[in-house]
A and B are shown apart, each in its own frame.
Chain A
Amino acid sequence: MNTKNKKIALTGGYAVGEAMRQINPDVVAMYPITPQTPIIEYFAKQKANGKVKTEVVTVESEHSAMSACIGSSASGARTLTASSSQGIMYMFEVLPVASSMRLPILMAVSNRAISGPINIHGDHSDAMAMRDTGWIQIFAENTQEAYDNTIIGMKLAEKALLPLATNMDGFFVSHSVENLELLEDEEVKGFIGEYSPKQSLFDFDNPKTFGPVALQNSYFEFRKQIQDAMLKTSKMFEEVAEEFEKISKRKYGFVEEYRTEDAGKVIVAMGSVCGTIKETVDRLRDEGKNVGLLKIRLFRPFPYKQVAKALKGVQDIIVMDRNLAFGTKQVLASEIEHATGKKVQSVVYGLGGRDVFEKQIEELFLEEKSPEYLM
């Protein structure tokens, strides 16, 4: 099977666009924003060439993009969109409506810094801003993962009946050309299957009211059912990843443990920086240093158990956040402390697309105390 899979050089944006073509959704809402735009441009071209059956809605804002997605998904249509940064801030109001209605909308996110000041480059501020809106969030390290996560994400969202955001670092992944392996169209089609939700607006014999007023006697329950669904998602993620491995021969866990077995010092991070960390780990390992990386792939629901297990014997933990949480501990650092019950060293890095070099990662590994900011 695997032999006929195509190896190809693509940017992250085009790889995600290609996954979307293979998913061949019923409806896609699109609005441009850097660094997401290559995704929708690629997809629009597929539509123009008759390669997809999709109804494309070229909305006038991201607020309307997500609103159109909600209308479409509630109607029982497989629905996707893509966004970044200010786009996510602009649609913020409707994000929790999607999860409350249990709509499996997939949003491909090219992560970018949020204003102000305005900056178009890659960091995780947008993903962190939406982290409590009831969306499943998966992070990619490279174009291969960005592509795979789109396909895994579509299936997972529909299984969990929750909206899902796939995240890739803007520019670092979205605009970088890398080699990746693509699945055959038929493999993707078979993997995601037909989408036929039990509840939809198009059930005219059993008309439903979506989005009612919920007062003190029911609002709490509506919110709690999102939490219940989110907690059930972990098991589903495992199942979907296993199925995906069967067609792709690529194994994806909640986290990726890179040379952590016997490691005394481990960096925990998400996204493209993990590539740089892996290189550094390899080099330091060659020099006899017992260091490793724990890469977080599934960020919501957060894999506390898997993280605790992976970091069980590790003494020194450094957590890298590509986002700055003001007046509080950093987001990923807090999650890791919560998961392990250990104090971690928290480092904020790469805001607004600032580069991180192996030299800096090496220092993190070798110095006893890491700086609060890698500036």
Chain B
Amino acid sequence: MNKTYKKQKFTAATTCAGCPIGVVARTVLNATDDPIVVTNATGCMEVTSTIYPNTSWKVPYIHSVFGNAGATASGIEAAVKSLSKQGKVDEKVKVIAFAGDGGTYDIGFQALSGALERGHDFLYVCYDNGAYMNTGNQRSGATPLGASTQTTPFGKEAFGKQTRRKDIMTIVAGHHVPYAATANIGFLEDFKAKVKKALAIKGPKFILVFSPCVALWKFPPAKTFEVAKLGTETNFWPLYEIENGHYKFSYEPKKRKPIEEFYGTQGRFKHIFKRDDKEALLQKIQKEIDDDFARIKATVESHQKV
């Protein structure tokens, strides 16, 4: 075992080749020297990192169930507050929750909302791969329009998922949190900086990190970062921060690429390109992406004027 490996707070996991989950975990954990406690919702990250008697986590870690990362973090944070006042633990302890999009947009939504509203001092990191990947690709509230999943498969009648993604960032912002940001494993320095920034702020923080799934988006393992970057270059995954309600872009493509360039890299969208109504469908998808981006941009600009 070499020295760097030994020092890692998150070591090898049994993820698929090309999966960025380890990158997400390490980037977050390495952003601070303070003591860390991690809680993790059920999902790919948990299943690939804690098969007994092994564990990838070299920091205290707790997994309980699927839908309670926000609530478990609340309990840990309450314990930090209570025990640090009694001199039993360092008050600098950072509480970090990891959950996938299923554990955030769907089953863990209420627990997340409660924890944000109560104002606990913790960082919630959602690694978003746009579906329930641990159970083999079923649609979630984060699955994009047109994606074929096991529960929204394409067929004669259907072009994949018929509805758009939930706008989780607006919902989180609605909780008046001091800090929320989108990030992308394809923009690692930006991601790192955001985690560092978040951890320096008191209160509930939320980072939504774009985390492509090699196996079930269906692209070659070597292309993870390329696909991730295309997400942002096409405005499918804009990078922005919301600080005390103020929106700010952290990166803006000079000229956004057409959505085909992102959708075209992945097997989950392949059916779209074979349809007779391909053009109309892509236009619809493009329009929704452009509209979403325009709305964020308008907010950013209105906040610049203030």
Contacts and interface: CB of A to CB of B under 8 A. Distances in A.
Interface of A: 26-27, 29, 53-61, 63-65, 67-77, 79, 93-94, 97, 201-204, 207-215, 218, 222
B174 interface: no
Counting chain B CB atoms within 10 Å of each CB, the highest count among A56, A57, A75 belongs to: A75
Contacts of B74: 57, 59, 64, 67-68, 71
A64 B35 CA distance: 25
B47 interface: yes
Interface in B13-67: 35, 37, 39, 46-47, 50-53, 55, 57-65, 67
A27 B79 CA distance: 6
B71 A77 contact: no
Counting chain B CB atoms within 10 Å of each CB, the highest count among A60, A71, A73, A93 belongs to: A71
A130 B276 CA distance: 56
Interface residues of B, number: 48
A334 B200 CA distance: 58
Given A94-B64, A213-B46, A68 B57 contact: no
A70 B68 CA distance: 10
Nearest to B77: A71
B89 A202 contact: yes
A71 B97 CA distance: 11
Contacts of A213: 46-47, 50-52
Contacts of A55: 78-79, 81-82
B53 A218 contact: yes
Interface of B: 35, 37, 39, 46-47, 50-53, 55, 57-65, 67-68, 70-83, 85-86, 88-90, 93, 110-111, 113-115, 117-118
Contacts of A64: 68, 70-71, 74, 110-111, 114-115
Contacts of A93: 65
A120 B93 CA distance: 42
B36 to A, nearest CB: 8
A368 to B, nearest CB: 51
Contact of B82 (A59, A69, A77, A207): A77
A211 B85 CA distance: 27
A67 B55 contact: no
Counting chain B CB atoms within 10 Å of each CB, the highest count among A55, A61, A65 belongs to: A55
Contacts of B58: 207
B58 to A, nearest CB: 6
A73 B62 CA distance: 11
Contact of A210 (B53, B63, B82, B114): B63
A55 B88 CA distance: 14
A113 to B, nearest CB: 25
Contact of B65 (A68, A72, A97, A212): A97
A211 to B, nearest CB: 4
Given A55-B82, A57-B78, A77-B83, A67 B65 contact: yes
Contacts of B53: 212, 218
Given A53-B85, A67-B72, A210-B63, 5 more contacts: A27-B79, A63-B68, A64-B114, A67-B65, A218-B52
A72 B55 contact: no
Contact of B76 (A56, A71, A207, A214): A71
Nearest to B39: A71
A53 B84 CA distance: 12
A57 B75 contact: yes
B62 A27 contact: no
A218 B111 CA distance: 30
B37 A75 contact: yes
Contacts of A75: 37, 75-76, 79-80, 83, 89
A210 B49 CA distance: 12
B55 A212 contact: yes
Contacts of A53: 82, 85-86
Nearest 9 CB-CB pairings of A with B: A71-B75, A60-B114, A68-B75, A64-B71, A75-B79, A67-B71, A67-B68, A72-B75, A77-B79
A112 B85 CA distance: 37
A233 B35 CA distance: 35
Nearest to A215: B51
A307 to B, nearest CB: 35
Contacts of A204: 35, 59-60, 90
18 contacts: A53-B86, A56-B78, A63-B111, A64-B71, A70-B64, A71-B71, A71-B76, A72-B75, A73-B75, A74-B76, A75-B75, A202-B89, A203-B60, A209-B62, A212-B52, A212-B53, A213-B51, A214-B52
Contacts of B52: 212-215, 218, 222
Contacts of B63: 209-212
Contact of B78 (A68, A76, A203, A215): A68
B116 to A, nearest CB: 10
Nearest to B67: A63
B114 A201 contact: no
B88 to A, nearest CB: 7
